[in-house]
Structures are given as C-alpha cells and as structure tokens.
Amino acid sequence: MVWIAIRMLTGDATKFYGLLFGIAFSTLLITQQLTIFVNLIERGASGVYNVPSADVWVMDPVSRTTDVNLPMPSTALDRVRSVPGVEWAVPHLRAAASVRTKEGDLEGVSVIGVDDATLIGLPRRMTSGSTNVLERPDAVVIDDVGTTRFFPEGYDPVGERLELNDQRAVIMGVADAVPSFTSQVTLYTRYSRALNFVPGTRNRLSFVLVGAAPNIDAKILATRITEATGLRARTRDEFARDGIDFIIENTGIPLNFGITVMLGFLVGVAIVGLTFSLFIRDNIKQFGALKAIGVNNAKIRRMVAAQAAMVGSIGYGLGVLGTVAFIWSFSSNPTFKGFYIPWQVPLISLAAVTLILTLTGWIALRNVLKTEPAAVFR
C-alpha cells in the first residue's frame, strides 16, 4: 500500500512540488539562519580563537572579554610568571585606535600588541608576508578581512602606509585571522611598538597569555593563578564562551534570528499544512473507498506517514543542500569568512521538519480516519 500512497502523492505534481517547496523552504530558512547565527556569535570569541597557543588568559578582575577589558599594571606579568605550573607568560595588549587612510578617511581599528620575542598573539598563518616582518620598527600586520575594508578587493596592501594615531605605520603582512564580531580592522604589532601607537594611561597590559606546563590542567592552573595573584584567569575554552555569551546577552541577535527561525517554522507549517490538507481532501473519496474495501486505519496511517516521510526527506535534503550552496557561494565573501555548518544545526532543522510534518500530517489524517466507509455509497 505504501507505493500506492507514494504514487498518489507524486501523481499530483502541483501539490507534491508545493509540499516539497514548503519543507525545503523551511529547512533552508531554519538551517541557514541558525548557521549564520552560530557563526556570528562565535565571532565573539575570535580574539581567543586567533591565539590558540594560549591555555589561560589572565586579566583584571573586571575584564569580561577580549574587547571589554581593563588594563593592568605591567607588574602583573611577573606575578603570573612566578605561579608554579606556568610554562610561559607573555604580555598582550588590545586597544582601540584610529587610522587615517590615504584618502583621508578616519577608521576605528583595534591594535593588538603581541609579545616582542615570541610573537605569541599573532595569528599563526599569514596570507601575505611572514611573521618576522614585525621586526621592522613601524611594521604592522593587518588581518585579511580588515584589508577589504581599507583597500579594494584583491589589492595587496603590503607596503602601504597608514597613519595610526598620528604615528607612521607600514603594513608588512596580512594575517589569516578569524574576523572579529564587528569585522573591525585589526592591526597586529609588537607589544613595545603598540605601547607607542596607543598612548594613554599608566596601565596598558590588557592580558597576560599563559602556556601551561605539561601535565597541568588549564582549569587547575587558572584557579591557581587567581589564588596567587588575585587576577581573573580563564581557560581558553571558558574565555571563548565568555565572548560568545557577551554577544548573546548584549545584542538583539538571538532574538532576531530566533524570530526568523520561528517564521521559517510557521511558514513551513502553513504551506505544508494547507497543501497536505488539500491533497488529502482531494483524495478523500479514494481513501474512503480503500477503507470500505478493507484497508484498516493502521494501514491508512502508514500510507500518510509514508507520504510525509517522502516529502520530508526530499524537501529536507533540498533545504540542507541549499544551505550548503549558500555558504559555499558566499565563502569568498569576507563577511562569511570561515563559516561552517555546525552538525547540530541540520539536526535541529530535521527536528523542525519532523515536527511540521507530524503536526500537519496528523491534522490531515484526522479527516481520513473520520471518514465513514459508508460514505462511499453517497
């Protein structure tokens, strides 16, 4: 009977495609929006992801994220270094500055000062130039997505001069970095140079980055550092999470995306529910005849379930493919750099599709089950 059910469904091309469209559209909207959402909020942790070698981030107790921080006195570095279990500790400066471009525009940038000796804090991979370019006194490395904000697409900025807080800076390399949440331009330079670029208060040490000694757990080390120094210490994972939570708590993004995902779901319910009900209504006489002939309700249920499963699997597949195509076609767009589909997202949209079809199939099925077999003689 299942193949008859499938034929009944595919035989009515308009409704079949309508159902597929409804499911595919819902899947696409839900999957795509959730994907963008996850990738966007993960950028709240970009500062952490860009320094994967740091096991523990040490900061002033009031600092919350890589971008919301209160600098510490430079003595903090030595205090952290003296904690047992700290393999290495390096200074890390993060500050806002402004750049005057050649055209005369003023742009806000973030300046990151990385350890002079080890260059820890600089993204590992460079798309242009090498990490040792920072040895030149006024050299800065720009992040790749930031480049697109300053220069036309495809332009190699190496050698370009910038006026960074009224100081001369020369771009000597381009780093392959995870873009920040605001996709603000990031300029990396050595810590000692950064102190010059970013004038200001006595305290300018934003973070101390710590590498844990072998066989000590980062979490334990973080607790130990806090106890010994009174500073806040977060493991890499915790601090990444802090950055993401900050975005979730302080922006309308979860609400906005939540609304879109909900709309995707509702549109799915509406299109699929309506089409499914119409389909069942059109076939109600046939279903009635089947019931009179001797097809029991369990088999009828199985038929409608097979129809729902067919529409669901194809529509869902199309929707996920659509999302993949979307992410893929925008992969060269700097805004979408590094976007990926977390495995949980297709599962969530699968659950949504299942819910849509269960709901609408159940409503449509009720009419069939209610049909008296005696109605066939009317």
Tell me the C-alpha distance between 271 and 353, whole Å: 12
**H helix runs in the chain, sequence order:** 2-11, 13-42, 46-49, 75-81, 144-150, 191-197, 218-229, 236-250, 253-282, 284-293, 297-329, 344-370
Tell me the C-alpha distance between 279 and 191, whole Å: 69
Which tokens belong to 124?
């590992």
Of 159, 214, 293, 332, the one binding other proteins (CB under 8 A) is 293
Of 100, 241, 299, 301, the one binding other proteins (CB under 8 A) is 299
Does 11 bind other proteins (CB under 8 A)? Our answer is yes
Does 296 bind other proteins (CB under 8 A)? Our answer is yes
The 253-292 contact track toward other proteins, x by CB under 8 A, reads ------------------------------x-xx-xxxxx
Nearest approach, Cβ of residue 310 and other proteins (Å): 13
The 344-373 contact track toward other proteins, x by CB under 8 A, reads ----------------------------xx
Does 294 bind other proteins (CB under 8 A)? Our answer is yes
Helix (H/G/I), strand (E/B), else coil: 87: strand
Does 117 bind other proteins (CB under 8 A)? Our answer is no
- How many chain residues touch other proteins (CB under 8 A)? 29
Which residue's entry shows tokens 């049909």? Answer: 371
Tell me the C-alpha distance between 87 and 52, whole Å: 15
User: Are 20 and 12 a contacting pair, CB within 8 Å?
Assistant: no
Nearest approach, Cβ of residue 21 and other proteins (Å): 20
The 308-337 contact track toward other proteins, x by CB under 8 A, reads ------------------------------
Nearest Cα residue to 305 out of 15, 5, 14, 10:
5
Does 248 bind other proteins (CB under 8 A)? Our answer is no
* Binding footprint of other proteins on the chain (CB under 8 A): 1, 3-4, 7-12, 283, 285-286, 288-296, 298-299, 372-374, 376-378
